């Protein structure tokens, strides 16, 4: 990837970072991005997905309402630039078809990373595994 000072992050990375302060792998990765002054970007749907992920946790009684609230507030304060580019929707549809994805949500992150020529970081192992046969080298899993 050519633009090494910018990376795309998806909702799974944000949720893992915010919900697991004792997870050394995500905390160390996040701190390396901060210390290296990496610019974080995501498509505008990022916080819709973060909110939904937290809501699902609350619905399943796996997290308390207080934890949900605090995590959402923390997430919204993270230094992430949201990108609202109309053409991403067209590109996301193409990418979803290209990689046979079940929906276009993940494809929006892929579209942004591909469009900006940057890496996409995800904690979604299912997505990483889906893309392995396609040898998509710019998608990084944690």
Q: What is the CATH number of the domain that holds 28?
A: 3.40.50.1010
Domain assignment of residue 40, yes or no:
yes
- The range of the structural domain enclosing residue 121 comes to 6-46+79-141
pLDDT tens track, the chain, 142 positions: 445 699 999 999 999 999 998 999 999 999 999 999 999 999 999 999 999 999 999 999 998 999 999 999 999 999 999 999 999 999 999 999 999 999 999 999 999 999 999 999 999 999 999 999 999 999 999 9
Residue 86 lies in a domain: yes
Domain for residue 112, yes or no?
Answer: yes
pTM: 0.93
Other Cβ atoms closer than 10 A to 137: 9
Number of domains in the chain: 1
Q: Is residue 52 part of a domain?
A: no
E strand or H helix that includes residue 140: strand 139-141
Q: What is the spatial distance between Cα 123 and Cα 130, in angstroms, rounded to a whole number?
A: 13
> Residue 138: which residues within 8 A CB-CB, separation 6 or more?
1, 113, 114, 118, 119, 120
């Amino acid at each position: 990837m050519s633009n090494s000072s910018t990376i795309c992050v998806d909702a799974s990375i944000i949720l893992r970072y915010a919900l697991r302060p004792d997870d050394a792998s995500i905390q160390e990765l996040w701190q390396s991005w901060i210390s290296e002054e990496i610019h974080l970007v995501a498509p505008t749907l990022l916080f819709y997905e973060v909110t939904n992920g937290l809501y699902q946790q609350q619905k399943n009684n796996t997290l308390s309402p207080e934890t949900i609230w605090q995590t959402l507030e923390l997430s919204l304060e993270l230094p992430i630039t949201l990108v609202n580019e109309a053409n991403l929707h067209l590109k996301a549809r193409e990418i979803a078809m290209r990689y046979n994805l079940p929906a276009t949500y993940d494809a929006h992150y892929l579209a942004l990373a591909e469009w900006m020529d940057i890496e996409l970081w995800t904690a979604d192992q299912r997505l990483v595994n889906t893309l392995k046969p396609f040898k998509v080298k710019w998608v990084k899993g944690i």
